[in-house]
Chains A and B, each alone.
Chain A
């Protein structure tokens, strides 16, 4: 513990030095105006989110007050408890929606992590015919949105008999090109000598994968998990799933939100509930994500 602390202080001193040692080719006026501009933009960017959060904390009478106050005067959690009550009274229980979302998110992310890392591993570290062509194909797939493939996807899922099951959301999520791309780029940064050493010691491909490569790419795991969770958590699943008891939390919440004036308070609470999860995960794993993104460049 103390060692860690010491390391931190050393790092802090180092950073202080870095700030003091200004780059010689910077003007003070330029710095001042650029950072002023940056602060202004940051305020503008943050304003809608801050406003959404404070809205959710306002009691009903304050929500309709005019002129409006940006921050809640008497913050309460009423909107959230109301939301809970409404969800509890719905035909399908709140816990079922929650289970659906959590299950889809977990299963999709887990499978994606394994399938994509297995593919990325051989693409990054072994040379075999078709290697480069396949990776090119994956990068091309990143260039169009999922909307392009939605209709044929429906037809394919229909043929497979997966419409109106969880699999229609989970299995396609395994193949997200973004995850494979980031994983592959990150794995290329691993020293090849590490793998060669393991091979000389008699480890097979599988052993190298589970024993050497996977433990060394943990930052990339986190990144894949985040992107996958973000995608799945916000998945409304309304095109592929139509039975109410299999729909996701986001869908249910947005139904409440569209309930008009009477649901204003709960609608504000829904906004916050939906955005809190992805943002929280991002905050906790920011450094790992940035570490992975450092190798995200697209070379040709």
Chain B
């Protein structure tokens, strides 16, 4: 045993020496990386650490933070009913729009892949535009206006399906489904672009080999050739859509109001805004942020290990 430890330490020492030598040889590389690394640490790594630290304190900016250990988390989960509503809504939105948006991104990228080049370029613009169109989603509040002049209401009343106008954004029953619809409309984002580009890069000779080996239809081709080739893009797209699905707040805030009726459209991020920038309970808000952070990272890791099995 002792021998083993000794060997281990010698090896470690050797390794660090090699690494140190390499590091001192590549000073220029570190110099190049330095500006980015500095800013990245300052605005991405440090905030997460600070957020975790403050989540164990009571901090309202005016007084210095006071340690209360897990109290924030305990009251979040046991006492804060609105947080639980937000958690439920965020999960509902994520579970519905995340996978659906992801599948839509891939499906449409795959369908337009075989179109001639100029049609494909137009199609990419049409599908991608909603996700970069600023706050164009506000237009949905015109479609779903609550009085009889709202288009959807008028349409449904003409058909005789409803006899009085529905208050789409005030009635808690309808808020979330409509928000999901809008989010789905905007879900063909960066992941979609990655899929489009990735599909173009799949080696054509593999398809030809596939015909020879008796791949009968497009679905077999998709499963056995295209998907395995697209694995890295699928990973990237998954990261994008998970991040987006859990970060929902703009759409619900713009359409259903902030705060919304009965908090029916509250998400984790809106709750975070409420405590962080309205009530200035920074410790509590940091606890919310930490929970959101953990959910996102865990979800990403889980999905990645799932995707590793695609096409095998």
Say whether, besides A147-B249, A294-B198, A175 and B51 are in contact (CB < 8 Å). no
11 other A-B residue contacts (CB within 8 Å) besides A171-B39, A175-B39, A254-B135: A45-B130, A52-B136, A151-B47, A153-B47, A156-B50, A205-B29, A257-B138, A275-B134, A286-B124, A293-B194, A297-B194
Contact A48–B130 (Cβ < 8 Å): yes
Say whether, besides A118-B36, A296-B236, A151 and B29 are in contact (CB < 8 Å). no
1/0 contact string of A122-151 vs chain B (CB within 8 Å): 110011111000100111111111111111
* Chain B residues in 8 Å Cβ range of A279: 125, 129, 132-133
Contact A49–B136 (Cβ < 8 Å): yes
Contact A286–B125 (Cβ < 8 Å): yes
Say whether, besides A25-B211, A45-B127, A118 and B44 are in contact (CB < 8 Å). no
Contact of A230 (CB < 8 Å), options: B132, B217, B218: B132
Nearest chain A residue, comparing its CB with the CB of B246: A145
Contact A129–B133 (Cβ < 8 Å): no
A38 within 8 A of B: yes
A15 within 8 A of B: yes
State A140–B46 Cα separation when bound (angstroms).
Answer: 14
State A259–B262 Cα separation when bound (angstroms).
Answer: 25
Contact B286–A151 (Cβ < 8 Å): yes
30 A-B residue pairs with CB within 8 Å = A24-B211, A26-B217, A27-B217, A35-B111, A38-B123, A45-B126, A45-B188, A48-B130, A52-B133, A52-B139, A137-B40, A142-B240, A144-B292, A144-B293, A144-B296, A145-B246, A149-B289, A152-B47, A155-B282, A156-B50, A172-B39, A178-B190, A205-B28, A234-B134, A275-B134, A290-B193, A293-B193, A296-B197, A297-B232, A300-B308
Interface residues of chain A: helix, strand, loop or mixed (majority): helix
| Nearest chain A CB to B12 CB, angstrom units | 14
1/0 contact string of A172-203 vs chain B (CB within 8 Å): 10110110100000000000000000000000
Contact of B33 (CB < 8 Å), options: A134, A206, A271: A134
| Nearest chain A CB to B135 CB, angstrom units | 6
Q: Report the 10 A-B pairs with minimum CB-CB distance, sorted nearest first.
A: A297-B232, A119-B36, A145-B247, A274-B134, A152-B47, A149-B47, A175-B39, A293-B197, A298-B235, A275-B133
Q: Which of A12-68 contact B (CB under 8 A)?
A: 15, 18-19, 23-27, 30, 34-35, 37-38, 41-42, 45-46, 48-49, 51-52, 55, 66-68
Interface residues of A (CB under 8 A from B): 15, 18-19, 23-27, 30, 34-35, 37-38, 41-42, 45-46, 48-49, 51-52, 55, 66-68, 115-116, 118-119, 121-123, 126-130, 134, 137-153, 155-156, 171-172, 174-175, 177-178, 180, 204-206, 209, 227, 230, 234, 239, 250, 254, 257, 271, 274-275, 278-279, 282-283, 286-287, 289-294, 296-300
